Amino acid sequence: MTKPDAPIPILVTGGLGFIGSHTAVALYEAGFWPVLLDNLSNSRREVLQGIASITGKTFPFIEGDLRDAGVVRSIFEAHPDIAGVIHFAAFKAVGESVEKPLDYYENNLITLIHMLRELHNRGKGNLVFSSSCTVYGQADALPVAEDAPVKPAESPYGNTKQIGEEIIRDTVAATGMNVIALRYFNPIGAHPSASIGELPLGVPQNLVPFITQSVAGLRGELAVYGNDYPTRDGTAIRDYIHVMDLAEAHVAALHRMFRAESDRPEPYEVFNIGTGKGSTVLEVIRTFEVATGLKVPHRMAERRAGDVTAAWAETSRAEKVLGWKAQRSLAEALLDAWRWQVEQETA
């Protein structure tokens, strides 16, 4: 991919979050200029320092909540040259969404509606939407492809992504806006510099940060939710993708958007973003132990509400159309995640 002749400003909502911060780095490295927005509900302002240490640049940062339509309006008033949006700003924990469904419906849908309306009002049409493999529910066939049936969601979080895609599809049909939805699987890892990574506030809701915090002595035993799934070792299977691979997929989506319209047959496109390989929870634990030489304290627990048995991606469409493919291994992602955890302990 060639870099733009001049840096193109891109608004990154949820820009200090796990995926948003790594995408900001990938954007800059590809010749874009990220404008970062975050309400700091599940992130920290110090992430800006990590991004700056990697890129050598200080990017615009706006602290604000997209549930306020006035905030959305003010962003574009302050940065009228924004040429596209990557929308990450959403609550994302499956288990928490089961416990707090109204919080998830309010936050994940209202913020999207406000962003789409403002883009339409300003005649700006380029949006990359952070969707999820959870839209498929428990797929009938694996690996799951983009044309797989969208089945009833297993969690309120997954349902917000299904509804979000429906809102986008209807909006594109009415307005001609250009949107690419990336349905990605399970992002893990950290930037290899260990300057940014996944650092959830409170108890981690995802597997890998709980592993690293357990090994670091910050948590008790890792609970492996369910050992009676119909899988090769009884634990659930997911497609774990390095966060930098995922970040680079968003850059690939933007490159596709900025091509001539003749190169884009549809104004709304959907792509799976994963490795194309599924790993069980126990396989992730073993891979971490081999890669680091450290033991992961863990125990078996009851299944968790909202979890599907297995999901991994069919990725040929992204490879063919976006020219993107995951490059980093599971072991590499886990090593980067561990280095990030160690850095937090020594900082």
Q: What is the pLDDT along the chain (347 residues), one digit of tens a residue?
A: 556 667 899 999 999 999 999 999 999 999 999 999 999 998 999 999 999 999 999 999 999 999 999 999 999 999 999 999 999 999 988 888 999 999 999 999 999 999 999 999 999 889 999 999 989 988 889 999 999 988 888 899 999 999 999 999 999 999 989 999 999 999 999 999 999 999 887 888 889 999 999 999 999 999 999 999 999 999 999 999 999 999 999 999 999 988 755 566 789 999 999 999 999 999 999 999 999 999 999 999 999 888 889 999 999 999 999 999 999 999 999 999 999 999 997 76
Given 157, 184, 225, 268, which residue is catalytic?
A: 157
The domain ranges of the chain are 8-346
Omega prior to 267 cis, within 30 of 0: no
pTM exceeds cut of 0.85: yes
Q: In CATH, which superfamily holds the domain spanning 8-346?
A: NAD(P)-binding Rossmann-like Domain (3.40.50.720)
Counting Cα atoms < 13 Å in the Cβ hemisphere of 215 gives: 21
Contacts 24+ apart (CB under 8 A), 262-267: 264/178, 267/125, 267/172, 267/176, 267/177, 267/178, 267/179
157 is catalytic: yes
